[in-house]
Chain A
Amino acid sequence: MSCWETIADYALRSQGIGERLLPRSDFTLCQQFTLIGSGMIWNIYFGVFALCSGFFLATAVALGKAARNPFIRKPAEWFIFVFRGSPLFIQFFFAYFVFLSLKGVSPLFDPFTSAWLGALVVLFFNTAAYSGEIFYGALQSIPKGDTEAADAYGLSGWARFRRVIWPTMLRLAWPAYTNEAIFLFHATTLVFFSGFPAIQQRGDALYYANYFADKTFNPFVPYPILAGYFIILTLIVIGIFGLINNRLNRHLPQERRKTIKVRPQIIR
């Protein structure tokens, strides 16, 4: 079987399209590259959707934590504490079993017990809490002069937030937020190891890498392949976020712009 046939068979295997049976013996490098790459679709799916949706909740949570009213501030603080203070792994397990029992109450919760929605919800809340804390930190370090200038221009309420506070907050938070995005993508590898079943062996990249490592009893091939894919993904994320960073900072002189630096990863 040539490599092209393998790619045709397995490139979309993680979505259930193509050859049903996974390879069982005589594993080729091509098979490993194709299947692990196919699993990356899930990682990208989880990462992109959780980031895009989590961004808005994160802004809300950050504003909530900065609010003066305790009825708004306390829930936001607790939300951040619960999701940042406990391991993501346990959150996945807990959420899965909660959805499983809710399934008995109403069929409405059926889709939540499968990874594509259930795990996405957990990741959404998780990234919202982590980014919320980052945005809150940025909110606290907005230069006093900026808000005073906004007041002097007669801006208030929504216009003040939209035109002054929010852009500055994003600008200050962006390097840290880039880091958060990278590690969110890394965290997506936990999904299929934590209760959520990989139906018909439709798993993510780590699921397939683990499959090959178990079958061949040789970790030295599949895991480096996985690592390679993730390094590429990380570079793409840094590239995209760097472009946004440039746009956010475009009004600043060159040397005052904050550059994005990748810091070592944080496990959740």
Chain B
Amino acid sequence: MFSFCSDPATLEGFRWLSCYLTTGKHMSMYWAVGTVLLLLAITAPAALAFGFAGASAARSNLAPLRWIGKTYIAVVRGIPDIAFFLFFVIALDQAFEYIRHRIKCPDWDEPVRQGNDFIVCTAAKLPLGNAPQWVHETYGFMLAVLTFAIVFGAFAANVLFGAMRAVPRGQLETAEAYGMSRRQTFWRILVPQMWVYALPGLSNLWMVLIKATPLLFLLGVEDIVYWARELGGAKQPQFTEYPHPDWRMWYFFALLVFYLCFTKVSEVVLDKVMAKLTHGQATTAGEAQRKAAA
């Protein structure tokens, strides 16, 4: 990285450290932070969409749709989340391959499950056997995103379901009195008003989502936990220009600090957003704001 890094053996102290922390592998680790942020950026709206669909399904008039929505919300209770993560990654992968298998190889007559193997025809493999490495990595990442979205969608569905019920009944009755249909009432009255009630739950969920990102490691994505383990391990002089003993403790300490800062920043930002949203609202917090100003 720096010009004085050409011969690491001669370096000392701070200069050694600055060279060490800018090696190619460390750059991969910093990119992995980007992976985590990318995951958050994609998962948050996706989970919100899943949650919105789940919550609307749970309050639907159609009984089967309502059952699906309620089951989706209820199924996340009582079961450890990490079991979901491990389950969905394999299950989704197999589901995709199976669907492609049925479409692409209709004349395949052997069963897909043979003993302990899951066998689909070569054309249905995901990603294809001859695909480049980045396709494999992207596919793995997409599976992880989908898994996160499904699991967190259930949490979000629960929050939004509660928020929809918190909108004062009178508002909906007024809409009906104006002759709005159920659909119009939902989109024009209920949805715009529910966000204030949903925000505390959703911001809580965001914190939870941040804290769930290290689980990416369990899904086989090369994230920061992977790199911290990889880079922190003891390095012998014959394999690297920067030999060091086992530093994994310090790498994980850095991760701990990273997450603490991330949480703190989110907390501050979300408090600001909440203060903006409650401004002028007829809720306890809004009332407190008004009194403080007066």
Q: Which residues of A contact B (CB under 8 A)?
A: 25, 27, 81-82, 85-91, 93-94, 97-98, 100-101, 182, 185-187, 189-190, 193, 206, 209-210, 213, 215-220, 223, 226-227, 230-231, 234-235, 262-268
Contacts and interface: CB of A to CB of B under 8 A. Distances in A.
Nearest to A89: B214
Contact of A267 (B90, B212, B218, B253): B212
Nearest to B232: A97
A85 B83 contact: no
Contact of A223 (B76, B86, B214, B264): B86
Contacts of B248: 93, 97, 100
Contacts of B169: none
B81 interface: yes
Contacts of B80: 185-187, 189, 206, 226, 230
A266 B80 CA distance: 10
Given A81-B260, A209-B83, A90 B214 contact: yes
Nearest to A266: B208
Interface in B206-261: 208, 210-215, 217-218, 225, 228-229, 232, 246, 248-249, 252-253, 255-256, 259-260
A86 B158 CA distance: 24
Contacts of B87: 213, 219, 223
B225 A93 contact: yes
Interface residues of B, number: 46
Interface of B is mostly: helix
Interface centre among A209, A227, A264, A265 (most CB of B within 10 A): A264
B12 interface: no
Nearest to B261: A85
B90 A94 contact: no
Interface of B: 73, 76-83, 86-87, 90-91, 94, 113, 116-118, 154-155, 158, 204, 208, 210-215, 217-218, 225, 228-229, 232, 246, 248-249, 252-253, 255-256, 259-260, 263-264
A85 B82 contact: no
Given A206-B86, A217-B90, A230 B255 contact: no
Contacts of A87: 210-214, 259
Nearest to A88: B211
Contacts of A230: 78-80, 83
A98 B86 contact: no
Interface of A is mostly: helix
A45 B76 CA distance: 23
Contact of A86 (B211, B212, B217): B211
B225 A219 contact: no
Contacts of A266: 204, 208
Contacts of A189: 80, 82-83
Given A87-B213, A93-B252, A264-B155, A231 B117 contact: no
A85 B259 contact: yes
A231 B79 contact: yes
Given A206-B80, A216-B116, A267-B81, 12 more contacts: A25-B116, A89-B214, A90-B252, A93-B225, A93-B229, A94-B249, A186-B79, A186-B80, A206-B83, A209-B86, A264-B154, A264-B158
A90 B256 contact: yes
B252 to A, nearest CB: 4
Contacts of A82: 256, 260
Interface centre among B86, B113, B118, B259 (most CB of A within 10 A): B86
A86 B258 CA distance: 9
Contacts of B210: 87
Given A209-B83, A213-B90, A262-B77, A98 B208 contact: no
B249 A267 contact: no
A98 B248 CA distance: 9
B51 to A, nearest CB: 11
B101 to A, nearest CB: 15
28 contacts: A81-B260, A81-B264, A85-B259, A86-B211, A89-B214, A89-B217, A90-B255, A90-B256, A93-B225, A93-B228, A93-B252, A93-B255, A94-B253, A94-B256, A100-B246, A100-B249, A185-B80, A186-B81, A206-B80, A213-B86, A215-B116, A223-B86, A227-B79, A230-B83, A262-B77, A262-B78, A265-B81, A267-B211
A233 B79 CA distance: 10
A91 B83 contact: no
B118 A218 contact: yes
A179 to B, nearest CB: 10
A98 B82 CA distance: 24
Contact of A234 (B78, B116, B204, B211): B78
A98 B98 CA distance: 45
Contacts of B78: 182, 227, 230-231, 234-235, 262
A54 to B, nearest CB: 18
